Structure 1
Amino acid sequence: MGETIETDAGGIWVERRGEGPDVLLIAGLSDPAEAWQAQLDGLADRYRLTAYDNRGTGRTPLPAGPLSVPGMADDAAAVLRALEIPAAHVVGFSGGSRIAQELALNHPRLVRSLVLVSTWARPDAYSHSMMGFWHWMAERAPNERAMLEAFLLWIYTPRAHNDGTVDRVIEETMAFPHPQSVEAFQRQLAPFRTHDTLDRLSEITAPTLVMAGELDIATPPRLGRAVAERIPGARFEVLPGEAHQPFQEVPDAFNARVATFWQEVQIRG
């Protein structure tokens, strides 16, 4: 059961599960903490996991004024400090991976290790146009279902579209009692569309694993590879046959891989 915690940045909704070394899960565009359910369930026997709703998502309110990626990273830092977590293994997905990059750059002592999933550092022309399309699609789609059906074409594998997984995700999203408004979606998307960390990634000192889906059309592997090449000592891995959201489509394999990485980090001290 989650709760709203008071931080220096205001109220933020968090979900916590398990016991052990601390893990912070940072979700991507529009995703509430529940996006990490398979990790909250599957890793809680070994780790203490914290997931939270980003600004304008789920139960964390949308503030006045524009959002920024560094500002959302400050929110992540505020969550860790409010929960008295001195340092955590940090996992960031998609837009959340941009937040995780800034967290590692601006609050390095809070980051024990870094896993960046479906990530990028500098938006290229394709990324810029894609996210521009998402911006106006959110307000011009005929209804919520049509918006989700279109948006999720970039997110899940053809396998998930054909086996009913995407239909189930759509039903669950539409039944979620804390839907994201069009305004919140667009305001959260805006900083992800333009934010650039490429020239600063060499400053990240945390052990880093970068994971990309072979079939990801939203953040193709070439973008993740560019991130890994800039972070000293980072590992880069492509997940065969997977797309943008592997931690949901193949959670057992994903959980096993990140747990192995964290164990290696702990052994190295």
Structure 2
Amino acid sequence: MTIDYRLDGPSTAPLLVLSNSLGTTFELWQPQMAALTQRFRVLRYNQRGHGTTPLPAMPLTLDILGQDVIALLDKLDMERAYFCGISMGGLTGLWLNRYHPQRFHKLAVANTAARIGSAEGWQQRAQQVQQTGLAPIAAASPARWFTEDFQRDQAQLVASLVKQLAQGNAAGYAACCQALAQADLRAEVPHMAAPLLAIAGEHDPVTTVTDAEWLVANAPNAVLAILPTSHISNVACPVRFSQQVMQFFTA
């Protein structure tokens, strides 16, 4: 298995898979670890082209990102798990809910949509990264990720995340952009059978509250939670994020 992953929490507890956003590593979930490991065995992993997880030989697709999660469950001999993903990780969760719902008790997806952005926008970003690297993308990321108040009050934390993105794998980032350019699950949402929590950020300019409301209106078994954040809601509002996820999973 080539996927870079880490397990934390009681070995006898139910398994919870966490899937992070584009350009971040599984360290993004550190604000949730103290709460989640009280009830779950937590599996964090780095998507293709992130951390030490390599890219596949073929072009990256949402199918590959989703199948990697199934492969991890198989490797760990886990028939079923819980799942929580944010942004690109949330889109991966939607794919899993459509194509492998029997492998999951419940899924939470945060700051995501059945279709994130446009093909043209993702292709342009991939080209930019290929030409100039990740530094310009990283410098512009705080405006997408966090509100102005959070950027001001948590400047050191924001700077750390920006630095991590700037030092990331440009080829991996671009490959994920290409995968997102092709990913569109809008026609599949009515067929997502597993219970679903959609978490939206009230101030998210990337995946809006309207996107989350559409998911909840069209998925057969979904509920909505809205947090007073922008796009990276688990970092900006860690306690309430953890509470929403825990309440949904343990209800």
Secondary structure class of the residue paired with 2:31: helix
**C-alpha offsets along residues 217-248 of structure 1, whole Å, 9 cap, x if unaligned?**
111111121112111121112213x0111111
Q: Tell me the equivalent position of 1:61.
A: 54
- Is structure 2 residue 184 aligned with structure 1 residue 196? yes
1:219 equivalent in alignment to 2:207: yes
| Residue identity opposite 2:66 in structure 1 | A
Amino acid at match of 1:244: H
**Given the alignment, which residue of 225, 228, 238 partners 1:237?**
225
SS in structure 2 of the partner of residue 232 of structure 1: coil
Q: Where do 5+ consecutive residues of structure 2 fail to align? A: none
Map 1:91-106 onto structure 2 (within 5 A): 91-106=84-99
Aligned AA for 1:89? Y
- Unmatched segments (≥5 aa) in structure 1: 1-5, 265-269
Distance in 2 (alpha carbons) for counterparts of 1:72 and 1:167: 28
Q: Aligned letter for 2:148?
A: P
1:256 maps to 2:243: yes
**1:102 to partner: Cα distance:** 1.3
SS at match of 2:146: coil
- Match 1:166 to one of 158, 161, 184: 158
Report the Cα distance in structure 1 between the residues aligned to 2:205 and 2:131, rounded to whole angstroms. Answer: 22
- Alpha-carbon distance, 1:58 to partner: 0.4
Separation (CA, whole Å) in 2 of partners of 1:236 and 1:169 = 27
- The residue type equivalent to 2:161 in the other structure is V
Letter in 1 for 2:88: G
Closer, same or farther: CA 150–139 of 1 in aligned 2, 3 Å: farther
Offset at 1:171? 3.9
- Per-residue deviation at 1:40? 2.4
Q: Residues 74-93 of structure 1: matches in 2 within 5 Å?
A: 74-93=67-86
Using the TM superposition, give the Cα deviation of residue 147 of structure 1 relative to its aligned residue in structure 2, in angstroms: 3.1
Deviation at 1:21, TM superposition (A): 1.8
Query: Quick one: which amino acid aligns to residue 214 of structure 1?
Result: E
The 1-side partners of 2:129 and 2:143 are apart by 14
Q: Hey, what does 1:30 align to over in structure 2?
A: 23
Match of 1:157 in 2: 147
Secondary structure of 1:24's partner?
strand
Q: Is the 8 A contact 1:198 1:230 kept in 2?
A: no
Q: For the Cα contact (< 8 Å) 2:206–2:231, is it kept in 1?
A: yes
Q: Is the 8 A contact 1:70 1:103 kept in 2?
A: no
Q: Taking structure 2 as the reference length, what is the TM-score of the superposition? A: 0.91
Aligned to 1:267: none
More divergent stretch after superposition (15-24 vs 206-215):
15-24
Tell me whether 111-120 or 126-135 shows the greater mean CA deviation.
Answer: 126-135
Question: Once the two structures are aligned, what percentage of the paired residues are identical?
Answer: 25
Is the 8 Å Cα contact of residues 227 and 237 (structure 2) preserved in structure 1? Answer: no
- Counterpart-to-counterpart distance in 2, 1:171 and 1:122: 28
Partner residue of 1:180?
A: 168
Distance 1:37 1:209 in 2: 21
8 Å CA contact 1:127, 1:218 repeated in 2: no
Deviation of 1:140 (Å): 4.7
Higher relative contact order (CA 8 A, sep 6+): 2
- Aligned-residue Cα RMSD (Å) equals 1.9
Q: 1:135 deviation in Å?
A: 2.4
Q: Which amino acid aligns with 1:186?
A: A
User: 1:121 Cα shift?
Assistant: 0.9
Misfit runs of 4+, over 6 Å: none
- Counterpart amino acid of 1:16? L
